[in-house]
Amino acid sequence: MKVHVLQIPEDGLHLEGDEPSEILELDSARARATGPIEYSLDVGVSDGGLFATGTLVVPIECECVRCLEKFARTLNVDDFACQVELEGREMVDLTEHMREDILLTLPAHPHCDWDGEKVCKAQFRDAPSEAEPLDDPRDVWKGLDQLKL
């Protein structure tokens, strides 16, 4: 997203719109953008730099790290902020700053039950049922006790 510095009034400028999600370069098995990046930004010029604050929203599709099912999620960057030195430029590109904040918001280990509306199928797979008795804690050490060093 490019901002023309000369078009910003003294009291700042409010910008709303969307950018194509291709700027994220996010198309992996774990996550991909499913729609455009919506932005609502307040930009202004002060002390030789351009500042931008606001919100970014992008819909994504993630793969659950437990059950490997795809699920939809909306990433919200509610506190986007950046400061770019002008250095005599008339136009400033905020794309890389927006991309960085969105990628930092991506979950490292996405779970399909992140919002509590769904229970992940794999969540309780390894838990013992009530009918199964728990192993004797001493049985865990049997294999090590048989080692001959």
The domains of the chain are located at: 2-122
What residues contact 79, with CB distance under 8 A and at least 6 apart? 53, 55
User: In the chain, count of helices (H) and strands (E)?
Assistant: 2, 7
* Helix intervals (H) in the chain: 95-105, 142-145
Alpha-carbon distance of 13 to 7, in angstroms, equals 9
pTM of the model: 0.74
Outline where DSSP puts E strands in 20-148: 31-33, 37-46, 49-63, 70-85, 91-93
Structure confidence at residue 108 (pLDDT): 85
Reference 84, options 29, 140, 46; nearest CA is 46
3-state secondary structure of 139: helix
pLDDT string in tens for the chain (149-residue length): 889 888 889 889 999 999 999 988 887 778 889 999 999 999 999 888 899 999 999 999 999 888 888 999 899 999 999 999 988 888 999 999 999 999 999 888 888 887 778 888 876 555 555 545 556 666 667 777 777 77
Alpha-carbon distance of 22 to 85, in angstroms, equals 26
Alpha-carbon distance of 5 to 64, in angstroms, equals 42
Q: Which residue has the tokens 């510095």?
A: 5
Q: Which two tokens mark 45?
A: 């010029």
Structure confidence at residue 136 (pLDDT): 63
